Amino acid sequence: MQIDKKQFEVLFQLYWKRMFSFAAKTVLEEEDAKEIVQDVFKSLWERRRDLELQDAERYLLRSVKLKTLEFLRNKGNRRRHHQVILQNKTPYYEEDNFHYKELYNQLNTVVESLPNQCKNVFKMSREEGLTNKEIANNLLITERAVEYHISKALAVIKLKLSKSLNMVKTN
């Protein structure tokens, strides 16, 4: 039987709760179970013209079962990958964190040493996330002046931090 919109709605009303209960018992998280069942019904709708269903309940139950198994397998894989990443990263975390803080402090020192207008423009752009037009309007300068100050700030930062960046990259 090919499924039209009305038949789909009937199938959804008839089987949604049963499919959800099955998925929830397997994955133990309601949100995950809802997503699994939603994916199964979405797939059913997308394939409605090609499917020849003899027993819709059996088809849906089998689909939910396969989807839950896939979910659990992927969840296990993600957990294992996270453990591997954590095991490989742990020895370097403190050292990386130290380099990050050091570089961050150096960046702040360089930014604070910029001329006032240049510093204000750079902070509004990078820290506040304002557009060049917004900065120009706030400071009553042209957008071209904003571009100039940002370019100048970036050139000074690049020059003064290039030595520190090279040290971090080699570690």
The residues, any chain, with a CB within 8 Å of residue 44's CB and separated by 6 or more, are: 3, 8, 11, 51, 59, 60, 63
Q: What is the pLDDT of residue 19?
A: 93
Quick one: 142 and 75 in the same domain?
Answer: no
Q: Are residues 74 and 14 in the same domain?
A: yes
CATH number at residue 71: 1.10.1740
Q: Which domain holds residue 163?
A: 114-170
Residues 128 and 75 in one domain: no
52-56, 60-64, 120-124: range with lowest mean pLDDT: 52-56
Asked whether residue 102 is assigned to any structural domain, the reply reads no
Answer whether residue 67 is part of any domain: yes
Question: DSSP strand E in 51-124: where?
Answer: none
Are residues 129 and 68 part of one domain? no
Residue type, 68: T
In a domain, 101, yes or no: no
Q: Specify whether the CB–CB gap between 108 and 99 falls below 8 A.
A: no
For 20-47, what is each residue's pLDDT tens digit? 999 999 888 899 999 999 999 999 898 8
User: In whole numbers, what is the pLDDT of the chain averaged over residues?
Assistant: 85
23, part of any domain? yes
> What pLDDT is stored for residue 75 in this prediction?
82
> How many structural domains does the chain have?
2
**CATH number of the domain enclosing 166:** 1.10.10
Does residue 95 lie in a domain region? no
User: How distant, in Å, are the alpha carbons of 16, 74, 103, 112, 133 from that of 21?
Assistant: 9, 21, 52, 59, 54
Q: Is 97 part of a structural domain of the chain?
A: no
